[in-house]
Copies of this chain bind each other. A is one copy, B any other.
Amino acid sequence: MDMNIKLNFASDYTKGAHPNILQRLVDTNMLQSAGYGLDEISESARNRIRKACACEQAAVDFFIGGTQTNAVMIDALLQSYQGVIAADTGHIHVHEAGAIEAGGHKVLVLPHQQGKLSPECVVKYLEDYYNDANHKHMVMPGMIYLSQPTEFGTLYSKAELKAFRDICDKYELSLYIDGARLAYALSCPENDITLPVLAELCDAFYIGGTKCGALFGEAVVVPNPNKIPHLFTIMKQRGALLAKGRLLGIQFDELFKDDLYLRIGEPAIKAAECIRHALRQKGYQLYFDSPTNQVFCIMKNDVLEPLSEKIEYSFWEKFDEDHTVIRLATDWGTSEADIRALLDVVG
């Protein structure tokens, strides 16, 4: 058998798709439709997303994966001489193999706080930039990149997002949100940033499918389509246009049928909360106070190897000489049985 049978909490993209999606793929398989997202199912999906975002005029486009989405959208939002402001923990800075730079743009990194950028820190950076006599010899900041939830599982508040919007208005920046794990924010009680809030405050954002119930796919929302003309051709040029575009339409049509996406993350949030509670009970120390589907736990080094024989987890970083931070990720399909098995293993 070619699948591991260990408990797997290594990431939130280890499984296939939500059953509804799979069923729809089976049902529609031999129908014939136009390519490149010009089919009717894709149009239905776009309309459902527009409705969920309370933004009827929005452009909605389907991409295949997160790095592709970030690279294409950031390039589309920036002028050639501009860079993108991001936390030094941002996915685009660390784990996309230089995709943004391959598009010609510098990532302008600022120090994170639990994975988040602070509005104050960004303002300071912008003031320094515009006060610098040599700023025309430097990369002009053109946009702000945030991820919601962040790579550390933390959340921006609506007030913070509003603060970034104000900064963007003042300094003529675009505001872009990487929502690779957005379902896990939307299902989280601490979260107050809804899809309509994103559509109101951002120039573009994406609704993650790959980590949130789809086989693959990310839905980009551009509330004001005039912001990015000719995105279809841009996508084609960057190899981001799926020939059988309906495959993406099908997945997002299912994810937004009956608002499934808004609650698909709930099992993951409950599971993570349950795991955090149990770990604290057992005397473990958590590394971040992050409320979404990722659990960051400080472990003694000598338990790591025995643990890895029973479950898959991710190494996060060294804590000190004797301790290591590991990450356990839950997802839309994590069952109560999975949680019990995990907690049995973590003594």
Contacts and interface: CB of A to CB of B under 8 A. Distances in A.
B240 A239 contact: yes
Interface stretch (A68-76, A157-165, A188-196, A263-271): A68-76
A238 B236 contact: no
Nearest to A237: B97
Interface string A228-249: 0010111011111111100100
Given A101-B104, A210-B243, A243-B66, A140 B16 contact: no
Interface string A3-14: 110001011011
Given A25-B22, A25-B25, A67 B241 contact: yes
Given A136-B236, A138-B97, A65 B242 contact: yes
Contact of A35 (B11, B67, B96, B233): B11
Contacts of A33: 2-4, 14
Nearest to A75: B80
A8 B32 contact: yes
Contacts of A35: 11, 13-14
A236 B33 CA distance: 30
A2 B42 CA distance: 9
Nearest to A231: B81
A230 B81 contact: yes
A279 interface: no
Contact of A99 (B3, B69, B211, B238): B238
A99 B31 contact: no
A285 interface: no
Given A17-B29, A215-B244, A242-B216, A95 B138 contact: yes
B94 A138 contact: yes
A14 B34 CA distance: 6
Interface residues of A, number: 84
A96 B137 contact: yes
A202 interface: no
Interface in A17-55: 17, 19, 22, 25-26, 28-35, 39-41, 43-44
B315 A79 contact: no
Contact of A31 (B3, B83, B102, B312): B3
For A67, A68, A76, A237, the residue with the greatest tally of chain B CB atoms inside 10 Å of its CB is: A237
Contacts of A94: 138
A132 B211 CA distance: 22
Interface of A: 2-4, 8, 10-11, 13-17, 19, 22, 25-26, 28-35, 39-41, 43-44, 64-72, 75-76, 79-81, 83, 94-99, 101-107, 133-134, 136-140, 210-211, 215-216, 230, 232-234, 236-244, 247, 312, 315, 333
Q: Sorted from nearest, which 9 A-B pairs have the closest CB atoms?
A: A68-B239, A2-B40, A16-B29, A14-B32, A3-B31, A97-B236, A97-B237, A8-B32, A98-B139
23 contacts: A2-B39, A2-B44, A3-B28, A13-B244, A15-B30, A16-B29, A64-B242, A65-B241, A66-B243, A70-B239, A76-B80, A80-B102, A81-B234, A83-B98, A97-B136, A97-B139, A97-B236, A97-B237, A98-B105, A101-B106, A102-B104, A216-B243, A216-B247
